[in-house]
Amino acid sequence: MPDELDLLRGANPAPPDGPRFGDGPLDHDAERRLNQLLHGSGPFGRRRTRWMWSLATVAVVAATALALLLAGPNTVPAVAAPRPLLVQTGSTPVPLTRMAELAEAAAADGSPELRKGTHVQTWSMGMSEDKPPITLPVERVVRWQADASHTELVVATDPRHPGRPVLSEGDDGTGLVEDGHVISEQTFGPSWSDAPPESTPPHDPRLLKAYLQEAQHRNTALTTPELLDAVGVLLDHWTLGARENAAVARLLADAGGLRPVGRVTDRLGRPGRAYVYDDGHGSRQMLIMDPAAGAVLGLEETATTAEPEWGLKAGDVMDYSAWMR
């Protein structure tokens, strides 16, 4: 069963070369991989939700948010799934190769530089066979210090409704969390790893391709959907510099299958160029690029076919990430 063994090895939340040992808490990447292993079944086994908090918090927040969702019409917008991004009518699609050229030109002076850590807002849909889907919006900021220690801050926030309560809390699920409520705030001691995605990513497209393949624990070349997933993992660990942005843009341009569709405004109000990949298996991925610098602004995954047993409708946004500097 090589596929199952690869899945188990790839999802290992505590690899032997990892920076943490013993009975200490899992770091963010370990929790993400453990969730992928535990919740990788269902109509979209290739990629499930990217929960950004601990497993215990997921259970509590999901249960209370579900209660909020069912409580009444006034509370639905707080946890409702975002609608798919709309391409501006009449906008001219720009080939991804052109975006790669823009990114390479923007990287001529090497500024800005690569920085470890990330700032990302994420909307992730949680699904089960006996409850309606819920979408929980969070913002996560990870900052690394000179001594290789780092902090991680996760807050509940939804830029679609600034200032509006976001989630429910408490045992009865009747309370509301204020916009910006801290879900978790952690400080991690010094740690090092020479394995992707913790190790420094290269800015040569060929070397970056091998780096991302290793980060995804793959022995074969990444497909375009897998490459998009790998780029998302990279951006969850690093704030790319201009040269790394150019390498990513060139790698995606050479991957094939990403169709330019025109201009969009992303969920943070930023102008972008959209590129779509239809996998033919019920989902569509949209890549949003900065039209000036060629950097990745966001990734959106949308269902293209309904899955009634999961409460999933065609057009539902299953996962969305927007990265910031």
User: What does the pLDDT look like over 101-139, one tens digit per residue?
Assistant: 999 999 999 899 999 999 999 988 776 677 666 667 889
Higher pLDDT, 70 or 228: 228
Mean pLDDT over 300-304 rounds to 92
State yes or no: pLDDT of 252 exceeds 60: yes
**What pLDDT does residue 55 have?**
35
Q: Work out how many domains the chain is built from and give that number.
A: 1
**What pLDDT does residue 325 have?**
86
Separation between Cα atoms, residue 89 and residue 226, nearest integer Å: 29
> What would the two tokens of residue 252 be?
């995606």
Higher pLDDT, 19 or 161: 161
**What pLDDT does residue 144 have?**
96
Range of the domain at 37: 2-324
State yes or no: pLDDT of 173 exceeds 60: no
Separation between Cα atoms, residue 313 and residue 302, nearest integer Å: 10
Higher pLDDT, 231 or 66: 231
Range list of β-strands (E), 64-177: 115-126, 134-144, 150-156
**What pLDDT does residue 59 have?**
39
**What pLDDT does residue 81 have?**
59
State yes or no: pLDDT of 174 exceeds 60: no
Residues 6+ apart with CB under 8 A from 76: 69
**What pLDDT does residue 311 have?**
78
Span of 58-67, 86-95, 192-201 with lowest mean pLDDT:
58-67
Residues 6+ apart with CB under 8 A from 296: 231, 235, 240, 245, 248, 249, 287, 288, 289, 290, 323
State yes or no: pLDDT of 24 exceeds 70: no
**What pLDDT does residue 313 have?**
85
Separation between Cα atoms, residue 11 and residue 37, nearest integer Å: 6
What residues does 156 pair with on adjacent strands? 138, 181
State yes or no: pLDDT of 45 exceeds 50: no
- Cβ atoms of residues 179 and 166 within 8 Å: yes
Span of 160-164, 243-247, 301-305 with lowest mean pLDDT:
160-164
What average pLDDT does the chain have? Answer: 78
Span of 27-31, 177-181, 197-201, 274-278 with lowest mean pLDDT:
27-31
- Cβ atoms of residues 185 and 153 within 8 Å: yes
Mean pLDDT over 212-221 rounds to 93
**What pLDDT does residue 14 have?**
58
- Cβ atoms of residues 152 and 142 within 8 Å: yes
Q: Among residues of the chain, what percentage have pLDDT more than 90?
A: 51
**What pLDDT does residue 183 have?**
86
Query: Per-residue confidence at 156, pLDDT binned at 50, 70, 90?
Result: confident
